[in-house]
Amino acid sequence: MRAVIFGASGLLGRSVLRAFDGMTVTGTGFSRSADGLVTVDATSADDIERLLGRDQPDVVVNCVGERRPDVWASTPAQARGRNVDAARLIAEGASRCGARLLHISSDYVFDGKAAPYRPDSVPNPLNTYGRWKLLAEQAVRAACPDAAILRLPVLYGPVQFAAETNLTEIARQVGAGARVELDDVCVRYPTHADDAAEVCRRFAGALLRGQRLGSVAHWSAEQGFTKYRTALLIARRFDLPAGHIRAGEADAVSGERPVDCRLDCQDLPAALGPVRRRLFSSEFPPVVEPWLTPTRPVSN
Ligand SMILES: NC(=O)c1ccc[n+]([C@@H]2O[C@H](COP(=O)([O-])OP(=O)(O)OC[C@H]3O[C@@H](n4cnc5c(N)ncnc54)[C@H](OP(=O)(O)O)[C@@H]3O)[C@@H](O)[C@H]2O)c1
CB-based burial of residue 146 (10 Å sphere; 0-12 exposed, 13-18 middle, 19+ buried)? exposed
Minimal-distance CA residue to ligand 1 atom 8: 106
- For the cut 60, the answer to whether the pLDDT of residue 217 exceeds it is yes
Residue-wise pLDDT for 219-273, tens only, equals 999 999 999 999 999 999 999 999 999 999 988 888 889 999 999 999 998 899 9
Spell out which residues line ligand 1, taking CB within 6 angstroms: 7, 9-13, 29-33, 40-43, 63-67, 82, 86, 104, 106, 152, 154-155
Distance CA 19, CA 130 (A): 27
Pocket test for ligand 1, best of 14, 18, 64 (most atoms within 8 A of CB): 64
Residue 279's CB is within 10 A of a number of other CB atoms, namely: 11
What is this structure's pTM? 0.96
Q: By mean pLDDT, which of 75-84, 152-161, 245-254 is the weakest?
A: 245-254
Q: DSSP H helical segments within the chain, as ranges?
A: 11-19, 45-55, 69-74, 76-80, 86-97, 128-143, 166-176, 193-209, 227-237, 250-254, 267-272, 280-288
Output the CA 239–ligand 1 centroid distance in Å: 33
**Boundaries of every domain in the chain:** 2-158+191-223+260-278
* 128-151 average pLDDT score: 97
Residue-wise pLDDT for 37-78, tens only, equals 999 999 999 999 999 999 999 999 999 999 888 888 899 999
Which ligand 1 atom lies nearest to the CA of residue 7? Answer: 43
Question: Residue 260: left if φ>0, alpha if ψ -120 to 50, beta else—which one?
Answer: beta
Which ligand 1 atom lies nearest to the CA of residue 136? Answer: 45
Minimal-distance CA residue to ligand 1 atom 7: 106
Longest dimension (CA), the chain: 57
The 8-class DSSP code of residue 117 comes to B
The 8-class DSSP code of residue 266 comes to T
What angle is formed at CA 89 by the lines to CA 49 and CA 91, rounded to 5 degrees? 95
User: Closest by alpha carbon to 163, among 68, 228, 232?
Assistant: 68
Distance CA 288, CA 292 (A): 7
What angle is formed at CA 225 by the lines to CA 131 and CA 170, rounded to 5 degrees? 85
* 152-174 average pLDDT score: 91
Q: Which residues of 26-41 are buried (b: 16+ CB within 10 A; e: fewer)?
A: bbbbbeeeeeebbebb
- For the cut 90, the answer to whether the pLDDT of residue 179 exceeds it is yes
CATH topology of domain 2-158+191-223+260-278: Rossmann fold (3.40.50)
For residue 258, cis peptide bond before it (omega within 30 degrees of 0): no
Residue type, 250: A
| Confidence label for 162 from pLDDT (cuts 50, 70 and 90) | confident
How far apart are the two ends of the chain, measured CA to CA in Å? Answer: 28
Q: What is the structure's pLDDT at 254? A: 86
Q: Which residues of 149-180 are buried (b: 16+ CB within 10 A; e: fewer)?
A: bbbbbbbbbbbeebebbbbbbbbbbbbeeeeb
Q: What is the structure's pLDDT at 298? A: 39
Distance CA 172, CA 263 (A): 28
Output the CA 10–ligand 1 centroid distance in Å: 5
Q: What is the structure's pLDDT at 294? A: 47
Q: What is the structure's pLDDT at 297? A: 37
**Mean pLDDT over each residue of the chain, to the nearest integer:** 94
